[in-house]
């Protein structure tokens, strides 16, 4: 068990770079099994979620070489799905995407039931419904999904049961294996979906409508191509550092922020009184994503009159919503935060009361955060969910005195070498056992 010991209340300074996207990486790793050629991925975050995916893919026969932030993958002639590392697969919910990426390679196979963050009843039915459109039948068992892809090879118009990121990715990977045109409606255009589209295009799949809610995909019967793809930066990690700078009242330069996926968050912050400067604009190395360097300037904040709630892109990102909780703790007034997607995540927000927050739980989805409050130190156990654990860490770094956050595996699932990176900008944090 790894714990973080923090001596908080210190002003941060300098600059920090945003790493490659966790959610784009796992989608592209799932899609890498489509390619019989050599796939080289760059800017891969070195996080526990990626480690679990490497374990899963190696267990089914993928050859993987790692060198820093570069992964080189080669699929075997025959994928050994029966040898899948169940323990690793069960630790990441994104393993569900293997149901679609393997559809063109097997008639029948099973995928372990996935875990990941503990956020209530996260239904998988939209995945089952979308794959039905491609002729795939799925039975959900207690510990696995049994997949019958004997009639897989069906294109046409697909309407997603919900506008979800992972569901859109599942539909894209299925459509990429069919050499006819598939129309996907109610798709999301979030950052990880766009990154997956750009990756599939490199493989030779034709996709129109990227960035919109209707995608037209012309797949390939066989994909065998040596490609190099650079994963774009993570807007959720960028928001972590933005929230940290604001909560600790620090002047901090956050570099390589994907602007398109932060614009609404920045506008909300601007209306709260937050000052920032866009220092530079440029393209990501994938050739598509617009990046900026953001300098966050200490400011006095006023709570918004309107509620804050997540929505599918281009709304406020659902994974960025929790980072407004510590921000609201230092803003004057009362902020209503409505996390309608997950039953349990808002409940985790009340854990910040142990650090001096004044948070009232209205129901499983809504909290009032009243500020400003004096954030105080404490010893706490990390919640089994990535973003709630991350915002507790943000608050601890703002709290004067010694805090301890125990069992930080959930944070390591999504953030690379966070201890060292925080130390580089002046945080007093260390790992303890």
Summarised one tens digit per residue, pLDDT across range 132-148 is 899 999 888 888 889 99
> At which residue do the structure tokens 């030779």 appear?
204
Tokens for 14? 């300098």
Distance from first CA to last CA of the chain, Å, rounded?
A: 6
Higher pLDDT, 104 or 292: 292
Q: How far apart are CA 233 and CA 415, in angstroms?
A: 12
pLDDT of residue 120 exceeding 70, the answer is: no
Q: How far apart are CA 340 and CA 162, in angstroms?
A: 14
Element (H, E) at 241: helix 235-247
Closest CA to 28 of 286, 229, 320: 229
pLDDT for 83 equals 93
Of 9-23, 84-98, 246-260, the poorest mean pLDDT is in 84-98
Of 22-36, 74-88, 200-214, the poorest mean pLDDT is in 74-88
pLDDT for 126 equals 82
Q: How far apart are CA 32 and CA 71, in angstroms?
A: 11
pLDDT for 119 equals 38
Read off the pLDDT of residues 38-50 as tens digits, 9 standing for 90 and up.
999 999 999 999 9
pLDDT for 124 equals 74
pLDDT for 93 equals 76
Which of 66-90 are b and which e, b meaning 16 or more Cβ less than 10 Å from the residue's Cβ?
A: eeebebebbbeeebebeebbbebbb
Please tell me the CATH code under which domain 22-225 is placed.
3.65.10.10
Q: What is the mean pLDDT of residues 301-330?
A: 96
Beta strands 3-8 and 429-432: pairing type?
antiparallel
Q: What is the mean pLDDT of residues 190-210?
A: 98
Any bridge partners for residue 295, and if so which? 253, 277
Q: How far apart are CA 196 and CA 199, in angstroms?
A: 5
CA atoms within 13 A on the CB side of 137: 5
Is the pTM above the cut of 0.75?
yes
What φ, ψ does residue 174 adopt, rounded to 5°? -70, -45
Q: How far apart are CA 328 and CA 335, in angstroms?
A: 6
Q: How far apart are CA 159 and CA 98, in angstroms?
A: 20
344 band by pLDDT with thresholds 50, 70 and 90: confident
Q: How far apart are CA 58 and CA 432, in angstroms?
A: 31
Closest CA to 5 of 403, 433, 409: 403
Q: How far apart are CA 121 and CA 356, in angstroms?
A: 30
Q: How far apart are CA 180 and CA 198, in angstroms?
A: 19
Could you give the angle at the alpha carbon of 401 between the alpha carbons of 8 and 6, nearest 5°?
45
Give residue limits of the domains in the chain: 3-20+233-432, 22-225
Contact 72, 102 (CB under 8 A): no
Q: What is the mean pLDDT of residues 312-341?
A: 96
115 band by pLDDT with thresholds 50, 70 and 90: low
3-20+233-432 and 22-225: identical CATH topology: yes
CATH superfamily of 3-20+233-432: Enolpyruvate transferase domain (3.65.10.10)
Any bridge partners for residue 275, and if so which? 297
Q: What is the mean pLDDT of residues 298-302?
A: 98
């Amino acid at each position: 068990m790894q714990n973080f010991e923090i001596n908080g209340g210190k002003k941060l300074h300098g600059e920090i770079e945003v790493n490659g996207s966790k959610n784009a990486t796992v989608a592209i790793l799932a899609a890498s099994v489509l390619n019989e050629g050599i796939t080289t991925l760059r800017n891969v975050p070195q996080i526990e979620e990626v480690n679990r995916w490497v374990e899963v893919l190696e267990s089914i026969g993928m050859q993987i070489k790692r060198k820093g932030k570069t992964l080189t993958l080669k699929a075997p002639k025959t994928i050994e799905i029966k040898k899948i590392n169940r323990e690793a697969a069960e630790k990441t919910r994104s393993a569900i995407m293997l149901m679609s990426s393997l559809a063109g390679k097997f008639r029948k196979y099973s995928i372990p039931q996935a875990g990941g963050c503990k956020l209530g009843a996260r239904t998988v039915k939209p995945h089952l419904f979308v794959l039905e459109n491609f002729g795939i039948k799925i039975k959900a068992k207690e510990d696995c999904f049994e997949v019958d892809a004997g009639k897989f090879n069906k294109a046409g118009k697909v309407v997603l049961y919900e506008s979800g990121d992972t569901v859109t990715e599942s539909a894209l990977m299925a459509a990429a294996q069919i050499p006819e045109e598939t129309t996907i409606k109610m798709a999301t255009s979030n950052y990880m979906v766009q990154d997956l589209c750009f990756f599939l295009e490199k493989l030779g799949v034709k996709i129109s409508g990227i960035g919109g809610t209707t995608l037209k995909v012309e797949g390939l019967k066989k994909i065998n191509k040596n490609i190099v793809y650079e994963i774009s930066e993570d807007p959720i990690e960028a928001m972590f550092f933005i929230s940290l700078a604001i909560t600790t009242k620090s002047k901090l330069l956050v570099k390589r922020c994907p602007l398109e996926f932060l614009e609404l968050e920045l506008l909300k912050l601007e209306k709260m009184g937050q000052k920032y400067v866009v220092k530079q604009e440029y393209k990501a190395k994938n050739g598509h994503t617009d990046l900026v360097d953001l300098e966050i300037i200490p400011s006095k904040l006023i709570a918004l009159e309107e509620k804050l709630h997540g929505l599918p892109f281009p709304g406020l990102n659902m994974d960025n919503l929790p980072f407004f909780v510590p921000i609201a703790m230092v803003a004057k007034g009362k902020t209503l935060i409505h996390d309608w997607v997950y039953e349990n995540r808002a409940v985790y927000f009340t854990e910040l009361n142990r650090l001096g927050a004044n948070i009232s739980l209205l129901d499983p989805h809504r909290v009032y955060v009243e500020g400003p409050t004096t954030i105080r130190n404490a010893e706490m156990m990390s919640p089994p969910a990535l973003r709630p654990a991350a915002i507790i860490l943000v608050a601890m770094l703002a709290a004067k005195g010694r805090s301890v956050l125990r069992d930080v595996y959930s944070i390591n699932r999504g953030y690379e070498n966070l201890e060292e990176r925080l130390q580089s900008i002046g945080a007093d944090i260390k790992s303890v056992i």
